[in-house]
Amino acid sequence: MLSRWIDRFAASVPGQCAVCRAWPAQPVCEACVNRFAQPEARCRRCAIAVPAGVVECGHCLAAPPPLQACYAAVSYQYPWSTLMAQYKFNGQAGWARAFATLMRSTPWVEPALEEADLVLPMPLSPRRLAERGFNQALLLARALAPRKTDSDLLLRVRHTPTQTALDREQRAANVKAAFAVQPLRAGELRGKRVVLVDDVMTSGASLFSGAQALHQAGAASVVAVVLARTG
């Protein structure tokens, strides 16, 4: 409830662009969005940047992930890396709506949201949630599709160390079996089309683990929508 109030209040108050300091502006002004958020070719299964004309990256061809598609609004680089650190760690929860607008404008995201039966945020462990005060993925999901968002269906059942210093294989091992569907509600997923929402995708290990849990519960398809993709 508090996070929704903060989001509404922040959206009503004019401010400076956090990048160029233009005034008045949203957290990122239109000029900076046009400059730093140009579309680029991405793998359709994991959203990593690929050369023009390439549909799927080598990793996804060799080992297809449990995502039917994955869409990223921007690359995790300046200014987005700095802005997202402020969003998550400096209490800028009100920026979620502006970020969600950027995500929704990404090609194929709007149809994915329209076709989805459920929009689920990647969950945080209770410890991580206590540290941050809010789940950044949940705020993005609510801004993207408030009527379809469910914050209690996909659970994080195991706290894991931060992924920052881990390589691809270590990340996958770190989050293995870290997610599960709420046991009493697993039947609600059978045959459903799900959109998973997160802020940053690095190796994809967490999203893949979450998607695997959803498929095991009977989800018909799982599509990921993220604000930023590394690599």
Region of residue 56 (phi > 0: left; psi between -120 and 50: alpha; otherwise: beta): beta
2 within domain boundaries: no
Alpha carbons within 13 angstroms on the beta-carbon side of residue 67 total 27
31 within domain boundaries: no
112 within domain boundaries: yes
The rounded distance, in Å, linking the Cα atoms of 168 and 174 is 10
Helices 96-104 & 136-144, crossing angle to 10 degrees?
60
Q: What's residue 127's pLDDT?
A: 87
Decide: pTM greater than 0.85: yes
23 within domain boundaries: no
Q: What's residue 150's pLDDT?
A: 98
The rounded distance, in Å, linking the Cα atoms of 65 and 174 is 17
Nearest to 102 by CA among 139, 57, 140, 58: 140
What is the domain count for the chain? Answer: 1
Rounded to a whole number, what is the largest CA-CA distance in the chain? Answer: 50
Side chain identity at residue 110, one-letter code? E
List the pLDDT tens digit at each of the 231 positions of the chain: 434 434 444 444 557 899 999 988 889 999 999 999 999 999 999 999 999 999 999 999 999 999 999 999 999 999 999 999 999 888 899 999 999 999 999 999 999 999 999 999 999 988 888 888 899 999 999 999 999 999 999 999 876 666 565 556 655 555 677 899 999 999 999 999 999 999 999 999 999 999 999 999 999 999 999 999 998
What is the domain-level CATH number for residue 78? 3.40.50
Domain that holds residue 60: 40-229
Nearest to 198 by CA among 208, 184, 213, 188: 208
The rounded distance, in Å, linking the Cα atoms of 131 and 188 is 31
Q: What's residue 159's pLDDT?
A: 64
Beta strand pairing call for 193-201 and 118-121: parallel
The rounded distance, in Å, linking the Cα atoms of 27 and 24 is 10
Characterize 171-201 residue by residue with b for buried, 16 or more Cβ atoms within 10 angstroms of its Cβ, and e for exposed: bbebbeebbbbeeeebebbeebebbbbbbbb
223 within domain boundaries: yes
15 within domain boundaries: no
Q: What's residue 170's pLDDT?
A: 58
Bridge partner list, 195: 119, 223
127 within domain boundaries: yes
Q: What's residue 4's pLDDT?
A: 45
Contacts of 131 (CB under 8 A, 6+ apart): none
Q: How far apart are the first and last CA of the chain?
A: 35
- In the β-sheet with 221-229, what is the strand arrangement from edge to edge? 69-75, 221-229, 193-201, 118-121
Q: Tokens 């770190």 correspond to what residue? A: 174
Nearest to 113 by CA among 86, 79, 149: 149
21 within domain boundaries: no
